[in-house]
Chain A
Amino acid sequence: MRRRTSPVQAILIGGVMVVALLWVLFPFYWAFVNSIKKPADTFRSGTWVPFLQFQPTLEHWVSELAILEIRQALMNSTIIALGAATLAVLLGTLAAYALARFRFGKSGNANLTTWFISQRILPPVVVVIPFFLIMRQLQLLDNVFSLVLLNATFTLPFPVIILSQMIRELPQELEEAALVDGANVFQAFTRVVLPLILPGLVATWIICMAFSWNEFLFALSLTTNRAIPMPVIIAGAEHTRGVQFWFVGVRVLLTMLPPIIFALLAQRYIIRGLTLGAVKG
């Protein structure tokens, strides 16, 4: 956008970019390449390129996906992510509309917004004890439902912030026109506002899914057996299986691929979400 880049600078910048990309991508490649090595190949050095340096195999993927425990965990993670994100977006969209279009006292809107944001500041370990005791009382320990509720709570700030900003950016005349035509506020909301914010709404839903999928502390504290999701499976594996590189590779990728794919789908809204609305990106 300014100043010409000299050839020396261009080389320097190119070099930095390559190093940065290698640094970021290496762990992913390492996980992938190990997941398709035969166990013996993981102990040999110089096995980086499949087919050339070693014969790749899908046997670990097949055998891991056949394990009942893993399938159950994938299923649990999916239920938690879908359920929590849907709940958060449902509650969050309504609140976002209220914050964008109505006034709550003199500085009520700003205060309410800050209050919703503060959810993301609260260290989860503060509330993990009461949640554990409450869920035990409700007999919801080791139940995916409890994790759906908690993850909905802690991802709620994303839809509230992102969508209230989006609604504020919409021209209000559209809703006014609908009201003049005899629609009520609910109809203006569902027929005019919702379709217009749909891309942002879907992106926010996806971001909430990614965060809920990755959540670990509550999952570790509240599940023991049936309801264990992928992050908890992974954390326990080291002690039962030792360090087997091929096995680590498969499980790590099974766990992190869904949230990574979600993130790429919702890329446009990620900066806005992660900075709680401060930077548009």
Chain B
Amino acid sequence: MAASETPTRPRRTDPTKFFFIMPAVIWVLLFTIFPLLYALYTSFFSFRFGRINQFVGFANYLRLFTDANLHNGLRVTLTFVIVTVTVQMLLGFALALLLNREMRGKSVLRAIMVLPLFATPVAVGYLSITLFYEINGPINELLRALGGSGIPWLSNPFWALVAVIIIDIWQWTPFVFLVSLAALQGLPADLYEAAEVDGASAWQSFRSITLPLMTPILWLILLLRLVEAFKVFDIPTSLTLGGPGRATEVYSLFTYRTALRFFDHGYAAAQGFLLLFIVSLIVALLFGRIRSIYQEERS
């Protein structure tokens, strides 16, 4: 074969590289780029009941500005994203700082923290119907035992959104915790020893060593959480079906209903691109801050 003439290493220009890379490239072109283009095409038509009616130009995009239900979906999603991601970041990082020390049972703790991440979100939402059940659900029973009164979790618009948010916090705080803990354990121990020799307080070494070194990782975690949170669909769909009313009808659920309940494919496609735009904007804004992580990788 070609490589047999005094080869030193797999030659970096060897055309066989295309054999290795092309299947995946073609696959992604076929299953994401093509559907994206098809969605773009769809978004310029009035596409009722799966049939192209007519070219409507930007009409579907213009509807985005005036649709009160869509704005509701955006508002619900933004509230959800801001509250869940803030709480998850603070709680997860604080917990990681607190538990970043030699202690027994650490690997068991880590294993347990993995469980929520992989618990099927729809199943978690469905289970939560019983957790938040108003009459004899365990959460209200606990509140009553503590002397409070039960909360109308799923029938009140405000509390329904709170319930969805609590479940997401339950599911994803461990992610922030696990990644932060892994990163904290990778920090150079000798820096801390030097700081201690110099008489730095715990707070000082946190401020001047831990925080600066952790900043890129924290940005990365924030980016991943934001992107994931904007896509939220499973939990509100299974826990509250977007209700009561539209109190928990998040963006993806509204778009899903536009497309597959009302078969308004053209408009749903335009909605999808608005969400893609928002998510891409977040990535563009934050990517600069995390680039350093990946550059170390390459060098």
Contact = CB atoms under 8 A, between A and B. Distances in A.
A184 B3 contact: yes
A123 B252 contact: yes
Contact of A216 (B121, B133, B136, B227): B121
Given A104-B17, A216-B234, A281-B178, A130 B256 contact: no
A184 B260 CA distance: 51
Interface in A136-187: 136, 149-150, 152-153, 156, 160, 165, 172, 175-176, 179-180, 182-186
Contact of A21 (B112, B128, B133): B112
Interface string B229-249: 011011001100000000000
Chain A interface size band reads 35 or more
Contacts of A1: 100-102, 185, 189, 192
A189 B279 CA distance: 37
B9 A175 contact: yes
B122 A231 contact: yes
A221 B9 contact: no
A174 B9 CA distance: 9
Nearest to A275: B179
Interface residues of B, number: 112
A120 B224 CA distance: 10
Contact of B129 (A172, A243, A278): A243
B198 interface: no
Interface string A192-231: 0000000000000000001001101100110000000011
B118 interface: yes
A63 interface: no
Contact of A214 (B21, B120, B170, B279): B120
Interface string A244-280: 0100110110011001101110010011001111111
Interface of B: 1-4, 7-10, 12-14, 16-21, 23-25, 27-28, 31-32, 34-36, 38-39, 42, 50, 95, 98-103, 105, 109-124, 126-131, 133, 136, 138, 141, 170, 174-175, 178-179, 182-183, 185-186, 189, 192-193, 196, 202, 217, 220-221, 224, 227, 230-231, 233-234, 237-238, 251-252, 255-256, 259-260, 265, 268-269, 271-273, 275-276, 279-280, 283, 290, 293-294, 297-298
Interface of A: 1-3, 5, 13, 16-17, 20-21, 23-28, 30-31, 34, 42-43, 45, 91-92, 94-95, 97-99, 101-104, 110, 112, 115-116, 119-134, 136, 149-150, 152-153, 156, 160, 165, 172, 175-176, 179-180, 182-186, 188-189, 210, 213-214, 216-217, 220-221, 230-232, 234-235, 237-238, 243, 245, 248-249, 251-252, 255-256, 259-260, 262-264, 267, 270-271, 274-281
